[in-house]
Structure 1
Amino acid sequence: MEPAVLLITLACGFVMSRFGFPPLVGYLGAGFILYTLEIDENTLPLLEKIADIGVYLLLFAIGLRLDLKSLVKPEVLVTSGVHMFSFVIISLSILKIFAFLGFSQIAGLNENQLLLLAFALSFSSTVFAVKTLDDKGEMVSLYGQIAIGILIIQDLFAVVFLTFSKGELPSIYAFALLLLPFLRPLIHAIFDRVGHGDLLVLFGLVMTLVFGAFLFEKAGLKPDLGALVMGILLSGHTKTQELTKSIFYFKELFLVTFFLTIGLKGLPTTEDLVLAVLLTLVLPIKWLIFLTILTRFRIRARTAFLSSSALMTYSEFGLIVCSVASLNGWLPEQLIIVLAVSLALSFLFASPLNQVSEQMYQYLHPFLAFIEHNKAKSEDTPIRIGHPRFLILGMGRIGTGAYDALKKNFGNVVVGIEHKPELVARHHRQKRRVILGDASDTDFWHKLEPNENIEHILLTMSRHHGNLLAFEQLKGSSYEGKVSAIALYQEEISHLSKMKIDQVYDIYESAGVGFVNSMISEIQRNKPPTKKKTLLKKYYTRKKVKKRKED
C-alpha cells in the first residue's frame, strides 16, 4: 500500500510540474486518486500526523523570517479585519442565493449556520501562499510580507474561534507561556552552541514540535500557534537563515502529505462538485476586496495586485473550522467534503494565475492604475543611479562579492539593486552604493532613468525565478549591453543559455575556481626564495663584510 501511495504521489506531482503547474496541485489529485482506490485517512492514520508536522514546520519557518512590526501596520491589521467582515457579508448573501436555488447541502441551514460557513470561507491558505512565495523567492518582498502578515492575523482569528469552540478556556498554565520572551536570551545562547550539522536540524525540530506544538497544546492552545511563536523567538539570530535552509526539505516533504490528506477526505457527489465549482467562482470577489482595501492604504497597484493574488484561495484553517463545527453539531458533515473540494479547486485556480501574475499585472495595468490611490503616485518619481558601468541585481553574498571585486578593479563605477530594506541599510553602513528596488518589478524599470553608461548587468538574485523576471524586463528595455547570470542547477543553466544571456555561471563550479585561484595566490605569496637567490644573497653579504674590514 505504501509503495502505491509514494508512486502515485510522485507521478501526479511530476505530471503537473511538466505542464507548468506547481507539484502541490498534483499531490491534491493524488489524494483523490488514492481515495478511489479505497485508501483514506483511516487507512493511513500516520499520514495525518505527518501532515500536521508539515504545517507546524511551515509556521515555524514563517516565524523565523517574520518581522513583528509588519503585523501592526494598517495595511496588514486593518485590511485583515475589514476584508474578513466584508467577505463574510458578501458570501453570506451568495450562500443564501445557492440555498434558494435548492442545493441540499445548505438549503436547510439557518442564518447562524450560513454565517459560520461564510466565516470559514473568508480565510486564505497559509500553506499555499507561503509555498508559492517561497518557490518564487518573494518571501521577503513587500507584497510577500503584506500577504504573510494578513495570513497570520487571519490565523489568529481562527485560533480564537477554535479556542472558544471547545467550550472551555485555555489551561491556567497558558499564562506561563507569557514568560517565553524572557527566555529568549537563554534560547539564543543554546542556539549559538548547537553547531551546524544534524544537531542544528534536531534543535529546530525540538523547538517546533516539543517547545512549540506540544507545549501549547498541553496549555489548551493551538499547536500551530506554538510553532509560530517558537520561530519568532529564534528570529533575528545570526544562524536563523542556516536553520531555515536546514529544515527546508523536511518541511517540503511533510507538506506533501498535507495536500494528500485533503484529497483523502472523500470524493464529492455531483451536487457537491457543482457547489464547490460555484464557490470557486466567488474567489475573484475575495481578490477584488483585498485589492481595493490595500490600494486605499496607498499601497502601489502592483504590490496590492500580487498580495491579493497570493491570497486568492480558500484555506486549510477554514476546513479545520468547518470540521470543528461539524463535530460540535453546528454544521452538517457533508459540508467538509464540499469545502475540501473548494479548497483543492481554489489551489488549481490560483496556482497558474500566480505563476503568471507579473504578466497579468502588465495586462491589467490600465485598470489597476485607475483604482490606485492618487498619493501612491509619489513613489513614481524617477530613480537616479548616477553613471555606473556595472549594475548588480541582487545584493546577497554573491552580489556583494561581485560588487567588491568590481570596485577594487574598476573603481567606484558599480551600483547594486536589492529589494530587502534591512540589507540595503547594511550595505549603506558599509559604504556601498545600493538602491532599494525590486528588479523583477516592471514599475521599477519604468521609474529607472535611462542610462547609456551601463556596460554590464549581473543577475545575482538567489532565486532562478527572480533572475528570469529581471531578464524579461531587460529584454523589453532599451538596454543593449552584456548580461551575466548565476545558476544553481544544470536545468537553470540550460534555461538561461537558451534565453541568450551572454554569460551563465555555475555557482559551484565558479566557487571551486575561485577557491583554487585564491589558494594559488597564497602559495605564490608565501613561496620561499630559490637556492640560487639564497647563494647570491650570501655572496653579497660576505662581500660587504669583507669591504667593511678592509676599511
Structure 2
Amino acid sequence: MAQPHALFNEALLLLGGAVVAAPLFKRLGLGTVLGYLAAGIVIGPVLALISGGDDILSVAELGVVFLLFIIGLELKPARLWQMRRDIFALGSVQVLVSGAVLSALAYYLGLLDWRGSLVAGFGLALSSTAFALQILEDRGDLNTPYGQRAFSILLFQDLAIVPLLAMTAFIAPGGDEGGFSLASAGIAIGAVIGLVLIGRYLLTPLFQIIGRTGAREAMIAAALFVVLGAAALMEVAGLSMAMGAFLAGLMLAESSYRHELEADIEPFRGILLGLFFMAVGLSLQLQVVSENWLIIVLAVPLILLVKTVAIYVLYRLAGSSHNNALKGAFLLSQGGEFGFVLFTAAAGAGIFPQSTASLLIAIVTVTMALTPVFAAIPALIAKPEEREEIEEDFEGAGADVFMVGFSRFGQIASQILLAGGRSVTVIDQSADRIRQASRFGFRIYFGDGTRKDVLIAAGIEKAKIIAICTQKKEITDRIVDLVQSEYPNARIFVRSYDRLHALELRSKAVEYELRETLESGLLFGQRALEALGVPESDAVLVTEDIRKRDEARLELQASEGITAGREMLYNHPVQPEPLVKPRQEAAE
C-alpha cells in the first residue's frame, strides 16, 4: 500500500499533468480527452513516475458513474420511453452484429479458439461511454438526434455487460451453467424496482428536509450519497454501477432539486472523469504494445472499420441522415471500458491466458486513444448541410425568461408571462415555497441563484430575459453582479426593494427595474380616490401623472444625486413623497 506522502505526490503529478495537458490540447483543437490520455501515458508508461494505473482506474471509474447520473438528470422518464426503440432495437442489433463479425474474424483468422473469439468479439463490440459522452458534451451535441441515438446505443451496451459476463461464465472450460440463474435475474430485477420506488417516494422528501435547513454541505453530501448508494446497489445486484447512477438521476429528473444536484455533482464528475482518461493512459502496457505491435497495427484499424461500417448502416436503417450516420459511426467505433472487465473475467475463467487479456486491453486502449481524432473525421468528409437544431430534453432550460425567486412578486409576473404564451424557468431556494407552488401546478426548481454553476445547469445561457425577483436587496445585488460579470450582454429585469435600491440598480445599467410596491400602491390610491367620489377618468389622470413625475424624478436623481428633483414635487420635502394634485393642463 502506498505511503501517505506517495499518494500526495501521485495526486500532485496527476493534477499537474491535467493542468498542463488539457488546456494545451484544447487550444490545439484536439480536445481535453486526448490531453488527459496523453498526460497519463507520459506520466505512467513513458516516464514511469506513477505505477498501478489499474488501481487508479478502478477509483476513476466513479467519473463515469457521476456522468451517467447527470445524463439521467437531464432525461425525463417520458423521453426515455420515447427512446426505447433506439435503446433496445438499435442497441441490441449493434452489439449482436458488431460482436458476431468481430468474433468470426478472430476465429477464422486462427487468432483464438471459439470461446476466446466469442468473448473477444463481443467485448470489442462495446464502445466507451466515457469517451463518447465527453466528446458529445464538448461539442454540445448530446441533445442532437445523432447524439441521442449514440447515447441510446451506449445505454444498451451498459445493460449488455450483464449477459456477456453470464455468457463468459457459461462457456468457460468447466463453467457452471447455473452461473446465470433465475435467482440472480430476480435479484437484478428486484434491485431495479427497489431503486425506482426509492427514487419516486423517498428522495424528493429527503431533499425537501435538507433544503429547509439551508445547509449546502448537507445537500452536497446527500447528492453524493444518492449517486454512490444507487451505484453500489446495482453492483451488488450484478448490474453496472453506471446503470445504478443513471437510474437514480432518471428518478430525480422531474424533481425540483434537479439543477441544484447537477451543479453539486458536476465538479466531482469533471475531476474524476479527467482522472479516468488519465488512468487509461497510465494502464497502457507499452511492453505488450511493443511485443505485439504488428497485431495491434493490424487489429486496431480492422476493429474501427468493422464497427464504423456496422453502426453507419444501422443509423441509416433507423432513418438518420448521411451526415448524422457518419458522426455516430465514427464516434462509437472504439472499444470500451467494459471490455476491460469482460477480458479480465475471461482470463480468470480460463477462456484465454492473461497475456491475451493484456493484448486485448492494449488494443482497446489504443482505439480509445484514437477516438478524439477519429471522431473529427466526419467534419472533413460530411456533406454540407444546414446547422442542426438542438432539441432540449429537460424542462425549463432554454426558456424565454429565466426567473430567480418565486415569492409573491415573481408569482404574479410569471402568470403574465405564461398567459402571454412565453416559457419560464424559475429557480428558488425555499423548499417550502417549491412544495406549495407544486400544489397549484407551478413547475419551479430548487437552486441558489448566487451560484454560477446552478444558473448554468438551469439553462440561463439560453434565456432571452433574466428576471431577478428575489426579496432581499443584498441577494438581488449579488445575482445582478454575477450575471453582469458572466453575461455582459444579458437583458436583466430586476425587482427593486425601494427607491434607493432602484437608483443603485440604474447605476448598474440594468435594462429594467421596478420597485416591488410602486404599482400596487398607485392602484390602491387610485381606487381609494374613486371610492371618495372622484370620477374614474380623473383618478386615472392623477395616477398617471404621479407615475410620470416619479419616473422623471428617478432619472434626475440617477444622474444628479438623491437630493435632485425636489422642484418636481412643488417644493414639498423629499421624505415622505406627498400625493399632490396633477397639473391643470393634465386635468384638462
- The two structures have a TM-score, normalised by structure 1, of 0.65
* 2:224 counterpart (202, 205, 210): 205
CA change 1:75–1:27 in 2 (3 A) is same
CA distance in 2, matches of 1:288, 1:164: 26
Greater shift, 169-178 or 191-200, is seen at: 169-178
Which residue does the alignment assign to 1:443?
A: none
Q: Shift of residue 119 of structure 1?
A: 0.7
Task: Find the residue that maps to 2:61 and give its secondary structure.
Answer: helix
Q: Shift of residue 15 of structure 1?
A: 3.3
CA distance in 2, matches of 1:80, 1:284: 18
CA distance in 2, matches of 1:521, 1:271: 74
CA distance in 1, matches of 2:92, 2:185: 27
CA contact (8 A) 1:22 1:351 kept: yes
CA distance in 2, matches of 1:537, 1:514: 28
CA distance in 1, matches of 2:53, 2:362: 20
Q: Does 1:431 align with 2:446?
A: no
CA change 1:430–1:315 in 2 (3 A) is farther
CA contact (8 A) 2:132 2:331 kept: yes
- Taking only aligned residues, the RMSD between alpha carbons, in angstroms, comes to 4.3
* 1:74 counterpart (78, 85, 94): 85
CA change 1:335–1:10 in 2 (3 A) is farther
Which residue does the alignment assign to 2:157?
A: 154
CA contact (8 A) 1:287 1:312 kept: yes
Which residue does the alignment assign to 1:272?
A: 292
* 1:182 counterpart (160, 177, 197): 197
Task: Find the residue that maps to 2:254 and give its secondary structure.
Answer: coil
CA distance in 1, matches of 2:517, 2:190: 62
Q: Shift of residue 148 of structure 1?
A: 0.8
Q: Does 1:128 align with 2:131?
A: yes
Q: Does 1:231 align with 2:249?
A: yes
CA change 1:171–1:254 in 2 (3 A) is same
Which residue does the alignment assign to 2:358?
A: 337
Q: Shift of residue 281 of structure 1?
A: 1.0
Unaligned runs of 5+ in 2: 1-8, 170-178, 390-394, 403-416, 424-455, 467-483, 495-504, 522-549, 554-565, 583-588
Q: Does 1:110 align with 2:113?
A: yes
Residues 281-360 of structure 1 aligned to structure 2 (within 5 Å): 281-282=301-302, 283-355=304-376, 357-360=378-381
Which residue does the alignment assign to 1:245?
A: 263
CA change 1:350–1:44 in 2 (3 A) is closer
CA change 1:524–1:235 in 2 (3 A) is closer
Which residue does the alignment assign to 2:571?
A: 532
CA contact (8 A) 2:37 2:369 kept: no
CA contact (8 A) 1:28 1:344 kept: no
Give the AA of the match of 1:110. D
CA change 1:9–1:336 in 2 (3 A) is farther
CA contact (8 A) 1:41 1:261 kept: no
CA change 1:330–1:429 in 2 (3 A) is farther
CA distance in 2, matches of 1:136, 1:428: 32
CA distance in 2, matches of 1:347, 1:7: 22
Greater shift, 236-245 or 129-138, is seen at: 236-245
CA change 1:295–1:131 in 2 (3 A) is same
CA change 1:124–1:141 in 2 (3 A) is same
Q: Does 1:218 align with 2:218?
A: no
CA distance in 1, matches of 2:365, 2:20: 18
Q: Render the CA deviation track for 1:339-380: whole Å, top value 9, x for unaligned.
A: 3333333234331343464453226x8xxxxxxxxxxxxxx9
Task: Find the residue that maps to 2:204 and give its secondary structure.
Answer: helix
CA contact (8 A) 2:64 2:130 kept: yes
CA contact (8 A) 2:195 2:247 kept: no
Q: Shift of residue 312 of structure 1?
A: 2.0
Greater shift, 352-361 or 264-273, is seen at: 352-361
Give the AA of the match of 2:116. Q
CA distance in 1, matches of 2:578, 2:89: 81
Q: Render the CA deviation track for 1:243-283: whole Å, top value 9, x for unaligned.
A: 22321121110112212222233223334333223232121
Which residue does the alignment assign to 1:416?
A: none
CA change 1:142–1:328 in 2 (3 A) is same
CA change 1:242–1:355 in 2 (3 A) is farther
Q: Shift of residue 204 of structure 1?
A: 1.7
Which residue does the alignment assign to 2:147?
A: 144
Task: Find the residue that maps to 1:202 and give its secondary structure.
Answer: helix
CA change 1:191–1:537 in 2 (3 A) is closer
Which residue does the alignment assign to 2:559?
A: none
Q: Shift of residue 52 of structure 1?
A: 2.5
Residues 164-175 of structure 1 aligned to structure 2 (within 5 Å): 165=168, 167=179, 169=181, 170=184, 174=188
Residues 378-397 of structure 1 aligned to structure 2 (within 5 Å): none
Which residue does the alignment assign to 2:210?
A: 194
Q: Shift of residue 86 of structure 1?
A: 1.9
Give the AA of the match of 2:196. P
Which residue does the alignment assign to 1:508?
A: 487
CA change 1:270–1:168 in 2 (3 A) is same
Give the AA of the match of 2:152. G
Task: Find the residue that maps to 1:131 and give its secondary structure.
Answer: helix
Q: Shift of residue 127 of structure 1?
A: 0.7
CA distance in 2, matches of 1:36, 1:149: 37
Q: Shift of residue 140 of structure 1?
A: 2.1
Which residue does the alignment assign to 1:55?
A: 64
Q: Render the CA deviation track for 1:390-437: whole Å, top value 9, x for unaligned.
A: xxxxx97676149xxxxxxxxxxxxxxxxxxxxxxxx9996359xxxx
CA distance in 2, matches of 1:260, 1:358: 26
Name which one, 1 or 2, has greater alpha-carbon Rg.
Answer: 2
CA distance in 2, matches of 1:43, 1:397: 39
CA distance in 2, matches of 1:227, 1:164: 25
Matched pairs, number: 419
CA contact (8 A) 2:24 2:35 kept: yes
CA distance in 2, matches of 1:398, 1:229: 24
CA contact (8 A) 2:150 2:328 kept: yes
Give the AA of the match of 2:400. T
CA change 1:14–1:299 in 2 (3 A) is closer
* 1:86 counterpart (84, 97, 103): 97
Give the AA of the match of 1:309. F
Give the AA of the match of 1:272. N
Q: Render the CA deviation track for 1:498-536: whole Å, top value 9, x for unaligned.
A: xxxxxxx97433459755345754399586984724799
CA distance in 2, matches of 1:335, 1:135: 34
Which residue does the alignment assign to 1:262?
A: 280
